[in-house]
Amino acid sequence: MNDPYITLGVTSRATLDEIKAAYRELAKKYHPDNYADNPDMQAFATEKMKEINEAYDEILRIRRSGGTEYTDYASIRQMIRNGRLFDADNALNNVGSASRGAEWHFLKGTVYLNNGWVNDAEREFEFAVRLEPSNGEYTAALNSIKNTRGGQFGGYNTSAPNYGSGSGCSGCDVCTGLMCADCCCECMGGDLIRCC
Amino acid sequence: MMLIKDYETYKSVYCSLCGALHKQYGIFAKNILSYDITFFCIMAAGLNGAKPCVKKGRCMFNPFKKCFYCTKQDKYLEMGAAFSVISFYYKLTDNIKDDGVFSKLGCYMLLPFAKRYRKKALKKYPHFDIILGDILALQAECEDKEFVSLDRCAHPSAVMLKRLMMTLAENEQNKCEYGEFGYYLGRWVYLIDAIDDIKKDLKKNRFNPFIKMFDITRDNISDDVKQQCNEIVNMTSARLVSAYKKLEIKTYKEICDNIINIGIGQMQKNVIFMNNREEIFDE
Protein backbone atom coordinates (compact mmCIF):
# COMPACT_ATOMS: atom_id res chain seq x y z
CA MET A 1 0.00 0.00 0.00
CA ASN A 2 1.35 3.40 -0.90
CA ASP A 3 -1.53 5.82 -0.83
CA PRO A 4 -4.06 5.72 2.01
CA TYR A 5 -6.66 7.35 -0.23
CA ILE A 6 -6.46 4.50 -2.73
CA THR A 7 -6.83 1.94 0.04
CA LEU A 8 -10.08 3.51 1.14
CA GLY A 9 -11.20 4.01 -2.46
CA VAL A 10 -11.67 7.76 -2.26
CA THR A 11 -9.92 10.70 -3.90
CA SER A 12 -7.68 13.08 -2.00
CA ARG A 13 -10.34 15.79 -2.52
CA ALA A 14 -13.02 13.79 -0.64
CA THR A 15 -14.61 15.44 2.38
CA LEU A 16 -14.14 14.05 5.85
CA ASP A 17 -17.70 12.68 5.87
CA GLU A 18 -17.14 10.85 2.59
CA ILE A 19 -13.95 9.32 3.97
CA LYS A 20 -15.73 8.25 7.14
CA ALA A 21 -18.52 6.64 5.13
CA ALA A 22 -16.04 4.79 2.92
CA TYR A 23 -14.18 3.60 5.96
CA ARG A 24 -17.34 2.35 7.65
CA GLU A 25 -18.46 0.47 4.57
CA LEU A 26 -15.10 -1.27 4.12
CA ALA A 27 -14.87 -2.09 7.81
CA LYS A 28 -18.31 -3.71 7.67
CA LYS A 29 -17.29 -5.74 4.63
CA TYR A 30 -13.96 -6.98 5.93
CA HIS A 31 -14.82 -7.51 9.56
CA PRO A 32 -13.11 -10.82 10.51
CA ASP A 33 -16.25 -12.01 12.35
CA ASN A 34 -18.03 -12.29 9.01
CA TYR A 35 -15.70 -15.10 8.03
CA ALA A 36 -15.70 -17.13 11.22
CA ASP A 37 -16.35 -20.35 9.28
CA ASN A 38 -13.47 -19.90 6.82
CA PRO A 39 -10.06 -19.50 8.48
CA ASP A 40 -8.23 -18.60 5.25
CA MET A 41 -10.67 -15.86 4.43
CA GLN A 42 -10.59 -14.73 8.03
CA ALA A 43 -6.82 -14.31 7.97
CA PHE A 44 -7.10 -12.33 4.76
CA ALA A 45 -9.87 -10.18 6.21
CA THR A 46 -7.84 -9.48 9.35
CA GLU A 47 -4.92 -8.35 7.21
CA LYS A 48 -7.18 -6.19 5.07
CA MET A 49 -8.82 -4.71 8.13
CA LYS A 50 -5.43 -3.70 9.49
CA GLU A 51 -4.59 -1.98 6.24
CA ILE A 52 -7.89 -0.09 6.22
CA ASN A 53 -7.44 1.05 9.80
CA GLU A 54 -3.94 2.27 9.10
CA ALA A 55 -5.04 4.13 6.00
CA TYR A 56 -7.87 5.78 7.88
CA ASP A 57 -5.61 6.83 10.75
CA GLU A 58 -3.07 8.14 8.28
CA ILE A 59 -5.64 10.30 6.47
CA LEU A 60 -6.97 11.66 9.74
CA ARG A 61 -3.44 12.51 10.78
CA ILE A 62 -2.74 14.30 7.52
CA ARG A 63 -5.99 16.22 7.69
CA ARG A 64 -5.42 17.20 11.30
CA SER A 65 -1.96 18.53 10.54
CA GLY A 66 -3.58 20.84 8.02
CA GLY A 67 -2.08 19.43 4.83
CA THR A 68 -4.46 18.44 2.10
CA GLU A 69 -1.73 16.77 0.05
CA TYR A 70 0.26 14.15 1.84
CA THR A 71 4.00 14.44 1.57
CA ASP A 72 5.93 11.37 0.49
CA TYR A 73 8.52 11.22 3.24
CA ALA A 74 6.15 11.70 6.16
CA SER A 75 4.13 8.67 5.15
CA ILE A 76 7.26 6.65 4.55
CA ARG A 77 8.43 7.52 8.04
CA GLN A 78 5.06 6.38 9.29
CA MET A 79 5.47 3.08 7.48
CA ILE A 80 8.90 2.54 9.04
CA ARG A 81 7.50 3.33 12.47
CA ASN A 82 4.74 0.78 11.92
CA GLY A 83 7.28 -1.82 10.93
CA ARG A 84 6.04 -1.99 7.33
CA LEU A 85 9.56 -2.00 5.94
CA PHE A 86 8.71 -3.69 2.68
CA ASP A 87 6.13 -1.04 1.81
CA ALA A 88 8.48 1.72 2.87
CA ASP A 89 11.23 0.31 0.68
CA ASN A 90 8.87 0.06 -2.27
CA ALA A 91 7.75 3.63 -1.79
CA LEU A 92 11.37 4.78 -1.64
CA ASN A 93 12.28 2.88 -4.77
CA ASN A 94 9.42 4.61 -6.58
CA VAL A 95 11.06 7.98 -6.04
CA GLY A 96 12.89 8.94 -9.21
CA SER A 97 16.67 8.87 -8.89
CA ALA A 98 16.91 12.54 -9.80
CA SER A 99 14.85 13.67 -6.83
CA ARG A 100 16.58 11.55 -4.20
CA GLY A 101 17.79 14.01 -1.59
CA ALA A 102 19.37 13.69 1.82
CA GLU A 103 16.13 12.58 3.44
CA TRP A 104 15.68 9.84 0.85
CA HIS A 105 19.12 8.43 1.68
CA PHE A 106 18.46 8.73 5.38
CA LEU A 107 15.17 6.84 5.14
CA LYS A 108 16.67 4.22 2.85
CA GLY A 109 19.42 3.73 5.42
CA THR A 110 16.84 3.42 8.18
CA VAL A 111 15.04 0.69 6.22
CA TYR A 112 18.35 -1.12 5.69
CA LEU A 113 19.20 -0.82 9.35
CA ASN A 114 15.85 -2.20 10.47
CA ASN A 115 16.40 -5.14 8.14
CA GLY A 116 19.81 -5.76 9.67
CA TRP A 117 21.77 -4.60 6.60
CA VAL A 118 24.24 -2.62 8.64
CA ASN A 119 26.85 -1.92 5.96
CA ASP A 120 24.42 -0.58 3.40
CA ALA A 121 22.73 1.48 6.10
CA GLU A 122 26.04 3.11 6.94
CA ARG A 123 26.66 3.95 3.29
CA GLU A 124 23.24 5.57 2.91
CA PHE A 125 23.65 7.59 6.10
CA GLU A 126 27.01 8.78 4.81
CA PHE A 127 25.31 9.99 1.64
CA ALA A 128 22.66 11.78 3.66
CA VAL A 129 25.21 13.52 5.85
CA ARG A 130 27.29 14.54 2.84
CA LEU A 131 24.24 16.12 1.23
CA GLU A 132 23.07 17.84 4.39
CA PRO A 133 25.91 18.09 6.92
CA SER A 134 24.00 20.33 9.31
CA ASN A 135 21.14 17.91 9.94
CA GLY A 136 21.43 16.50 13.48
CA GLU A 137 19.17 13.51 12.83
CA TYR A 138 21.32 12.21 9.98
CA THR A 139 24.58 12.82 11.79
CA ALA A 140 23.33 11.03 14.91
CA ALA A 141 22.24 8.00 12.88
CA LEU A 142 25.61 7.83 11.13
CA ASN A 143 27.57 8.22 14.35
CA SER A 144 25.62 5.55 16.17
CA ILE A 145 26.62 3.06 13.47
CA LYS A 146 30.20 4.30 13.19
CA ASN A 147 30.67 3.93 16.94
CA THR A 148 30.10 0.18 16.75
CA ARG A 149 33.08 -0.24 14.41
CA GLY A 150 35.58 -0.02 17.25
CA GLY A 151 34.31 -3.13 19.00
CA GLN A 152 33.45 -1.49 22.33
CA PHE A 153 29.86 -2.66 21.97
CA GLY A 154 30.68 -6.22 20.97
CA GLY A 155 33.25 -8.00 18.85
CA TYR A 156 36.99 -7.52 18.98
CA ASN A 157 38.41 -4.21 20.06
CA THR A 158 41.91 -3.91 18.64
CA SER A 159 42.85 -0.90 20.72
CA ALA A 160 41.77 -2.30 24.10
CA PRO A 161 44.58 -3.56 26.31
CA ASN A 162 44.65 -7.32 26.45
CA TYR A 163 44.48 -9.09 29.76
CA GLY A 164 47.84 -10.73 30.55
CA SER A 165 49.47 -10.00 27.19
CA GLY A 166 49.58 -6.61 25.49
CA SER A 167 49.93 -3.36 27.39
CA GLY A 168 48.05 -2.25 30.49
CA CYS A 169 48.15 -3.29 34.13
CA SER A 170 47.54 -6.99 34.64
CA GLY A 171 47.35 -9.03 37.84
CA CYS A 172 51.06 -9.86 37.49
CA ASP A 173 51.98 -6.19 37.18
CA VAL A 174 50.22 -5.40 40.45
CA CYS A 175 52.13 -8.12 42.34
CA THR A 176 55.47 -7.11 40.84
CA GLY A 177 54.77 -3.49 41.76
CA LEU A 178 54.02 -4.40 45.37
CA MET A 179 57.19 -6.50 45.61
CA CYS A 180 59.33 -3.63 44.31
CA ALA A 181 57.70 -1.20 46.73
CA ASP A 182 58.37 -3.62 49.61
CA CYS A 183 62.05 -3.97 48.65
CA CYS A 184 62.49 -0.22 48.45
CA CYS A 185 60.89 0.26 51.86
CA GLU A 186 63.12 -2.42 53.37
CA CYS A 187 66.24 -0.74 51.94
CA MET A 188 65.19 2.42 53.74
CA GLY A 189 64.67 0.56 56.98
CA GLY A 190 60.87 0.32 56.83
CA ASP A 191 58.56 -2.45 55.74
CA LEU A 192 55.52 -2.50 53.48
CA ILE A 193 54.53 -6.16 53.57
CA ARG A 194 55.34 -7.78 56.90
CA CYS A 195 55.58 -11.39 55.82
CA CYS A 196 58.31 -10.90 53.20
CA MET B 1 38.89 -17.26 29.30
CA MET B 2 36.15 -19.68 30.27
CA LEU B 3 35.63 -20.79 33.84
CA ILE B 4 36.31 -24.48 34.43
CA LYS B 5 32.75 -25.16 35.55
CA ASP B 6 31.32 -23.52 32.42
CA TYR B 7 33.82 -25.33 30.29
CA GLU B 8 32.71 -28.66 31.75
CA THR B 9 29.07 -27.91 31.11
CA TYR B 10 29.88 -26.85 27.58
CA LYS B 11 31.92 -29.95 26.98
CA SER B 12 29.15 -32.10 28.43
CA VAL B 13 26.71 -30.79 25.82
CA TYR B 14 29.32 -31.33 23.13
CA CYS B 15 29.93 -34.93 24.19
CA SER B 16 26.23 -35.62 24.53
CA LEU B 17 25.58 -34.26 21.05
CA CYS B 18 28.29 -36.58 19.79
CA GLY B 19 26.50 -39.40 21.60
CA ALA B 20 23.14 -38.43 20.13
CA LEU B 21 24.59 -38.42 16.60
CA HIS B 22 26.13 -41.81 17.20
CA LYS B 23 22.97 -43.30 18.66
CA GLN B 24 20.59 -42.01 16.00
CA TYR B 25 22.63 -41.95 12.84
CA GLY B 26 25.38 -44.49 13.33
CA ILE B 27 29.07 -44.46 14.02
CA PHE B 28 30.22 -42.28 11.10
CA ALA B 29 27.82 -39.52 11.92
CA LYS B 30 29.89 -38.32 14.85
CA ASN B 31 32.40 -36.85 12.42
CA ILE B 32 30.02 -34.07 11.48
CA LEU B 33 29.89 -32.78 15.03
CA SER B 34 30.50 -29.06 15.31
CA TYR B 35 30.88 -26.39 17.95
CA ASP B 36 28.34 -24.17 16.21
CA ILE B 37 25.60 -26.71 16.63
CA THR B 38 26.64 -27.29 20.22
CA PHE B 39 26.08 -23.62 20.85
CA PHE B 40 22.68 -23.88 19.19
CA CYS B 41 21.74 -26.80 21.49
CA ILE B 42 22.82 -24.82 24.54
CA MET B 43 20.81 -21.79 23.44
CA ALA B 44 17.78 -23.99 22.76
CA ALA B 45 18.00 -25.61 26.17
CA GLY B 46 18.77 -22.33 27.90
CA LEU B 47 15.90 -20.41 26.35
CA ASN B 48 13.45 -23.11 27.33
CA GLY B 49 14.83 -23.34 30.84
CA ALA B 50 15.99 -26.94 30.72
CA LYS B 51 17.94 -27.69 33.88
CA PRO B 52 21.57 -28.56 33.24
CA CYS B 53 22.44 -31.99 34.63
CA VAL B 54 25.96 -33.31 34.25
CA LYS B 55 27.13 -36.84 34.86
CA LYS B 56 30.58 -38.34 34.55
CA GLY B 57 31.30 -40.94 31.95
CA ARG B 58 33.83 -42.14 29.46
CA CYS B 59 34.27 -41.05 25.90
CA MET B 60 32.45 -43.42 23.58
CA PHE B 61 35.35 -43.57 21.16
CA ASN B 62 38.24 -43.53 23.54
CA PRO B 63 37.55 -45.52 26.71
CA PHE B 64 40.61 -44.08 28.42
CA LYS B 65 39.37 -40.55 28.13
CA LYS B 66 37.04 -39.34 30.84
CA CYS B 67 34.33 -36.94 29.89
CA PHE B 68 31.04 -35.48 31.00
CA TYR B 69 27.58 -36.05 29.65
CA CYS B 70 24.49 -34.03 30.23
CA THR B 71 21.26 -35.80 30.95
CA LYS B 72 17.61 -34.87 30.35
CA GLN B 73 18.41 -32.69 27.32
CA ASP B 74 17.43 -35.31 24.77
CA LYS B 75 14.93 -33.08 23.00
CA TYR B 76 17.47 -30.38 22.19
CA LEU B 77 20.24 -32.80 21.39
CA GLU B 78 18.00 -34.66 19.00
CA MET B 79 17.16 -31.38 17.33
CA GLY B 80 20.86 -30.46 17.09
CA ALA B 81 21.73 -33.85 15.65
CA ALA B 82 18.99 -33.63 13.03
CA PHE B 83 20.12 -30.15 12.02
CA SER B 84 23.73 -31.32 11.81
CA VAL B 85 23.00 -34.16 9.42
CA ILE B 86 20.71 -32.13 7.19
CA SER B 87 23.22 -29.30 6.93
CA PHE B 88 25.95 -31.84 6.27
CA TYR B 89 23.97 -33.15 3.31
CA TYR B 90 23.55 -29.67 1.85
CA LYS B 91 27.19 -28.84 2.41
CA LEU B 92 28.20 -31.92 0.43
CA THR B 93 25.91 -31.13 -2.48
CA ASP B 94 27.28 -27.59 -2.47
CA ASN B 95 30.88 -28.83 -2.50
CA ILE B 96 30.17 -31.19 -5.38
CA LYS B 97 28.99 -28.20 -7.36
CA ASP B 98 32.11 -26.09 -7.11
CA ASP B 99 35.04 -28.12 -5.81
CA GLY B 100 37.99 -29.67 -7.63
CA VAL B 101 38.05 -33.22 -8.98
CA PHE B 102 39.54 -34.92 -5.93
CA SER B 103 37.43 -33.33 -3.26
CA LYS B 104 34.45 -33.95 -5.52
CA LEU B 105 35.29 -37.63 -5.50
CA GLY B 106 35.43 -37.61 -1.71
CA CYS B 107 32.09 -35.87 -1.52
CA TYR B 108 30.50 -38.42 -3.84
CA MET B 109 31.69 -41.19 -1.57
CA LEU B 110 30.14 -39.55 1.46
CA LEU B 111 26.93 -38.65 -0.27
CA PRO B 112 25.08 -41.98 0.23
CA PHE B 113 25.65 -41.72 4.00
CA ALA B 114 24.49 -38.15 4.04
CA LYS B 115 21.39 -39.05 2.07
CA ARG B 116 20.49 -41.81 4.47
CA TYR B 117 21.01 -39.58 7.51
CA ARG B 118 18.97 -36.82 5.99
CA LYS B 119 16.12 -39.16 5.18
CA LYS B 120 15.99 -40.24 8.79
CA ALA B 121 16.15 -36.69 10.13
CA LEU B 122 13.45 -35.57 7.72
CA LYS B 123 10.86 -37.80 9.37
CA LYS B 124 10.87 -35.79 12.53
CA TYR B 125 12.19 -32.41 11.44
CA PRO B 126 10.95 -31.67 7.92
CA HIS B 127 11.03 -27.90 8.55
CA PHE B 128 14.82 -27.94 8.98
CA ASP B 129 15.13 -29.23 5.46
CA ILE B 130 12.94 -26.47 4.09
CA ILE B 131 14.93 -23.83 5.98
CA LEU B 132 18.27 -25.12 4.71
CA GLY B 133 17.18 -25.94 1.15
CA ASP B 134 15.72 -22.48 0.57
CA ILE B 135 18.85 -20.76 1.70
CA LEU B 136 21.18 -22.65 -0.59
CA ALA B 137 19.22 -21.60 -3.64
CA LEU B 138 19.22 -17.98 -2.47
CA GLN B 139 22.94 -18.04 -1.75
CA ALA B 140 23.73 -19.40 -5.19
CA GLU B 141 21.65 -16.65 -6.74
CA CYS B 142 23.53 -13.98 -4.77
CA GLU B 143 26.90 -15.27 -5.82
CA ASP B 144 26.06 -15.62 -9.48
CA LYS B 145 24.99 -12.05 -9.80
CA GLU B 146 27.36 -9.13 -9.90
CA PHE B 147 28.61 -8.17 -6.46
CA VAL B 148 26.51 -5.36 -5.06
CA SER B 149 26.70 -5.48 -1.32
CA LEU B 150 28.05 -7.53 1.53
CA ASP B 151 24.69 -7.33 3.25
CA ARG B 152 23.00 -9.05 0.35
CA CYS B 153 25.55 -11.88 0.42
CA ALA B 154 25.14 -12.40 4.15
CA HIS B 155 21.36 -12.24 3.99
CA PRO B 156 20.58 -15.91 3.16
CA SER B 157 22.69 -17.31 5.99
CA ALA B 158 21.29 -14.75 8.36
CA VAL B 159 17.72 -15.63 7.40
CA MET B 160 18.48 -19.29 7.84
CA LEU B 161 19.53 -18.84 11.44
CA LYS B 162 16.69 -16.42 11.99
CA ARG B 163 14.17 -19.05 10.95
CA LEU B 164 15.97 -21.71 12.93
CA MET B 165 15.89 -19.60 16.08
CA MET B 166 12.25 -18.80 15.47
CA THR B 167 11.37 -22.50 15.65
CA LEU B 168 12.43 -22.36 19.30
CA ALA B 169 9.97 -19.61 20.18
CA GLU B 170 6.75 -20.32 21.99
CA ASN B 171 4.89 -17.07 21.40
CA GLU B 172 4.84 -14.16 18.96
CA GLN B 173 6.82 -11.81 21.15
CA ASN B 174 9.58 -14.36 21.57
CA LYS B 175 9.54 -15.09 17.87
CA CYS B 176 10.56 -11.52 17.09
CA GLU B 177 13.37 -11.44 19.62
CA TYR B 178 14.71 -14.87 18.75
CA GLY B 179 14.49 -14.01 15.08
CA GLU B 180 16.47 -10.81 15.50
CA PHE B 181 19.16 -12.57 17.48
CA GLY B 182 19.26 -15.40 14.94
CA TYR B 183 19.59 -12.95 12.07
CA TYR B 184 22.67 -11.26 13.50
CA LEU B 185 24.18 -14.54 14.62
CA GLY B 186 23.80 -15.96 11.12
CA ARG B 187 25.24 -12.79 9.67
CA TRP B 188 28.20 -12.89 12.01
CA VAL B 189 28.91 -16.54 11.21
CA TYR B 190 28.73 -15.81 7.49
CA LEU B 191 31.15 -12.87 7.74
CA ILE B 192 33.65 -14.80 9.84
CA ASP B 193 33.47 -17.81 7.52
CA ALA B 194 33.95 -15.59 4.50
CA ILE B 195 37.01 -13.89 5.99
CA ASP B 196 38.39 -17.27 7.00
CA ASP B 197 37.97 -18.54 3.44
CA ILE B 198 39.64 -15.60 1.67
CA LYS B 199 42.90 -17.44 0.98
CA LYS B 200 41.23 -20.66 -0.06
CA ASP B 201 38.83 -18.84 -2.34
CA LEU B 202 41.65 -16.85 -3.96
CA LYS B 203 43.45 -20.07 -4.79
CA LYS B 204 40.40 -21.79 -6.17
CA ASN B 205 39.08 -18.64 -7.81
CA ARG B 206 35.79 -18.86 -6.00
CA PHE B 207 33.36 -16.16 -5.04
CA ASN B 208 34.06 -14.32 -1.80
CA PRO B 209 32.47 -10.97 -0.91
CA PHE B 210 35.59 -9.67 0.86
CA ILE B 211 37.80 -10.37 -2.15
CA LYS B 212 35.43 -8.31 -4.28
CA MET B 213 35.07 -5.59 -1.69
CA PHE B 214 38.74 -4.90 -1.12
CA ASP B 215 40.05 -6.16 -4.48
CA ILE B 216 42.31 -8.65 -2.78
CA THR B 217 44.61 -10.25 -5.32
CA ARG B 218 47.57 -11.53 -3.36
CA ASP B 219 47.80 -14.08 -0.62
CA ASN B 220 48.91 -11.75 2.12
CA ILE B 221 46.26 -9.35 3.19
CA SER B 222 47.41 -5.92 4.30
CA ASP B 223 46.93 -4.86 7.91
CA ASP B 224 44.69 -2.05 6.82
CA VAL B 225 42.29 -4.45 5.13
CA LYS B 226 42.34 -6.71 8.18
CA GLN B 227 41.47 -3.75 10.36
CA GLN B 228 38.60 -2.84 8.08
CA CYS B 229 37.32 -6.41 8.00
CA ASN B 230 37.33 -6.45 11.78
CA GLU B 231 35.43 -3.18 11.91
CA ILE B 232 32.80 -4.55 9.56
CA VAL B 233 32.37 -7.64 11.72
CA ASN B 234 32.28 -5.46 14.84
CA MET B 235 29.28 -3.60 13.46
CA THR B 236 27.41 -6.88 13.33
CA SER B 237 28.76 -8.05 16.69
CA ALA B 238 27.46 -4.92 18.36
CA ARG B 239 23.97 -5.57 17.07
CA LEU B 240 24.27 -9.23 17.97
CA VAL B 241 25.13 -8.30 21.54
CA SER B 242 22.22 -5.90 21.83
CA ALA B 243 19.82 -8.47 20.36
CA TYR B 244 21.20 -11.02 22.78
CA LYS B 245 20.48 -8.77 25.74
CA LYS B 246 16.78 -8.87 24.90
CA LEU B 247 16.63 -12.63 25.24
CA GLU B 248 15.57 -14.21 28.46
CA ILE B 249 17.94 -17.10 28.98
CA LYS B 250 16.79 -19.22 31.84
CA THR B 251 19.56 -21.76 32.20
CA TYR B 252 23.11 -22.03 30.85
CA LYS B 253 23.22 -18.24 31.04
CA GLU B 254 26.86 -17.98 32.08
CA ILE B 255 28.01 -20.00 29.11
CA CYS B 256 25.92 -18.08 26.63
CA ASP B 257 27.05 -14.76 28.12
CA ASN B 258 30.63 -15.91 27.89
CA ILE B 259 30.35 -16.93 24.25
CA ILE B 260 28.59 -13.75 23.19
CA ASN B 261 30.62 -11.29 25.24
CA ILE B 262 34.07 -12.83 25.00
CA GLY B 263 33.98 -15.76 22.60
CA ILE B 264 33.01 -13.87 19.48
CA GLY B 265 35.69 -11.24 20.05
CA GLN B 266 38.29 -13.96 20.53
CA MET B 267 37.14 -15.70 17.40
CA GLN B 268 37.42 -12.47 15.40
CA LYS B 269 40.93 -11.97 16.71
CA ASN B 270 41.93 -15.53 15.81
CA VAL B 271 40.40 -15.56 12.37
CA ILE B 272 41.17 -12.04 11.19
CA PHE B 273 44.49 -11.21 12.83
CA MET B 274 46.08 -14.54 13.66
CA ASN B 275 44.87 -16.55 10.68
CA ASN B 276 44.19 -19.61 12.71
CA ARG B 277 40.81 -20.78 13.62
CA GLU B 278 41.71 -23.11 16.41
CA GLU B 279 38.54 -23.65 18.30
CA ILE B 280 38.62 -21.30 21.21
CA PHE B 281 37.24 -23.93 23.52
CA ASP B 282 40.00 -26.43 22.94
CA GLU B 283 42.53 -26.86 25.66
Same domain, A133 and A77: yes
DSSP string, chain B: ---HHHHHHHHHHHHHHHHHHHHHH-GGGGGG--HHHHHHHHHHHHHTTPPP-EEEEE-SS-TTSEEEEE-S-HHHHHHHHHHHHHHHHHHHHHHHHHS-HHHHHHHHHHHHHHHHHHHHHHHH-HHHHHHHHHHHHHHHHHHHSPP--HHHHHHHHHHHHHHHHHTT-SSHHHHHHHHHHHHHHHHHHHHHHHHHTHHHHHHHT---HHHHHHT--SSSPPHHHHHHHHHHHHHHHHHHHHHHHTS---SSHHHHHHIIIIIHHHHHIIIIIS-----TT--
Beta bridge partners of B68: B56
Going B27 to B31 to B32 to B34, the CA torsion angle's sign is positive
Residues A32 and A77 in one domain: no
Contacts of B177 in chain A (CB under 8 A): none
Q: Is the CB of residue B150 less than 8 Å away from at least one CB of chain A?
A: yes
- Shared domain check, A142 and A99: yes
Residues 167-196 in B contacting A (C-alpha not used; CB under 8 Å) = 180, 183-184, 187
Decide which of A38, A70, A102 is a domain's last residue: A70
Tell whether A63 and A98 lie within a shared domain: no
CA distance B99 to chain A (A): 30
Contact A119 B237 (CB under 8 A): no
Contacts of A126 (CB under 8 A, 6+ apart): A142
For residues A77 and A54, membership in a common domain is answered with no
CA distance A86 to chain B (A): 15
Across the interface, of A117, A149, A154, the residue whose CB is closest to B231 is A149
Domain boundary among A70, A97, A112: A70
Structural domain count of chain A: 2
Q: What is the pLDDT of residue B283?
A: 36
* A144 located within any domain: yes
Q: Is residue B161 part of a domain?
A: yes
What CATH code is carried by the domain that includes residue A97? 1.25.40.10
The chain A residue lying nearest B181, using CA atoms, is: A116
Q: Please give the pLDDT value at position A167.
A: 47
In three-state secondary structure terms, A186 is: helix
Q: Does residue B223 sit within a domain? A: yes
Among the listed residues B147, B170, B142, the one whose alpha carbon sits nearest the alpha carbon of residue B157:
B142
Q: Nearest CA to CA, how far is B59 from chain A (Å)?
A: 34
Å between B265 CA and nearest CA of chain A: 4
Is residue B54 domain-resident?
no
Residue A38 sits in the same domain as residue A103? no
More confident residue, B61 or A135: A135
Q: Are residues A61 and A105 in the same domain?
A: no
CB contact B158 to A (< 8 Å): yes
| Predicted pLDDT of residue B237 | 95
B51-110 residues touching A, CB cutoff 8 A = none
In a domain, B37, yes or no: no
Please give the backbone phi and psi of residue A98, each rounded to the nearest 5 degrees, phi first.
Answer: -70, -30
The A-side interface with B (CB below 8 A) comprises: 112, 116-120, 122, 145, 148-151, 153-158
**Mean pLDDT on B199-226:** 85
- Residue B31, chain A, CB below 8 Å: the answer is no
pLDDT tens track for B8-24: 888 888 888 888 888 88
Q: Which domain holds residue A1?
A: 1-70
Q: In chain B, how many domains are there?
A: 1
Nearest-Cα residue of chain B relative to residue A157: B265
Residue B202 included in any domain: yes
Residue range B180-197, pLDDT digits in tens: 999 999 999 999 999 988
pLDDT reported for residue B238: 95
Query: Would A176 be classed as within a structural domain?
Result: no
Kindly give the confidence (pLDDT) of every residue in chain A, 196 residues in length, as a single tens digit, with 9 standing for 90 and above.
457 778 888 876 677 888 888 899 888 888 888 888 888 888 888 888 888 888 888 888 777 765 444 447 888 999 999 989 988 998 888 876 667 788 899 999 999 999 999 999 999 999 999 988 999 999 999 999 999 999 888 889 888 765 444 445 666 777 788 888 888 888 887 777 777 6
Q: Is B118 on the interface with A (CB under 8 A)?
A: no
- Within a domain: A79: yes
Query: Does residue B210 have a pLDDT over 80?
Result: yes
Is residue A192 included in any domain, yes or no? Answer: no
Task: State whether A56 and A121 are in the same domain.
Answer: no
Helices of type H across chain A: 4-8, 16-29, 39-64, 72-81, 85-93, 102-115, 118-131, 136-146, 171-187
Please report whether residue A117 resides in a domain. Answer: yes
Is B132 inside any structural domain?
A: yes
As a whole number, the mean pLDDT across chain B is 85
Chain A residue numbers with beta carbons less than 8 Å from the beta carbon of B158 are 116
Report the CATH number that the domain containing residue A53 is assigned in CATH: 1.10.287.110
Residues A95 and A66 in one domain: no
Region of residue B85 (phi > 0: left; psi between -120 and 50: alpha; otherwise: beta): alpha
Identify whether the C-beta of residue B66 lies closer than 8 Å to the C-beta of residue B58. yes
Last residue within a domain, chosen from A109, A124, A149:
A149
Q: Looking at beta carbons, which residues of chain B come within 8 Å of A89?
A: none
For chain B, percent of residues with pLDDT exceeding 90 = 20
B264, part of any domain: no
Cross-chain CB nearest to A116 (options B187, B241, B266): B187
In chain A, residues with a C-beta closer than 8 Å to the C-beta of B183 are 116
Q: Which residues of A touch B240 (CB under 8 A)?
A: 154
Task: Report yes or no on B18 lying in a domain.
Answer: no
Does residue A49 lie within any of the structural domains? yes
CA distance A142 to B235: 12
Task: Check whether residue A82 and residue A44 sit in a common domain.
Answer: no
Determine, yes or no, domain membership for A22. yes
Count of Cβ atoms closer than 10 Å to residue B79 Cβ: 24
Looking at the fold, whether A66 and A81 belong to one and the same domain comes out as no
Residue A76 included in any domain: yes
Closest approach of chain A CAs to the CA of B233, in angstroms?
7
Distance CA B240, CA B236 (A): 6
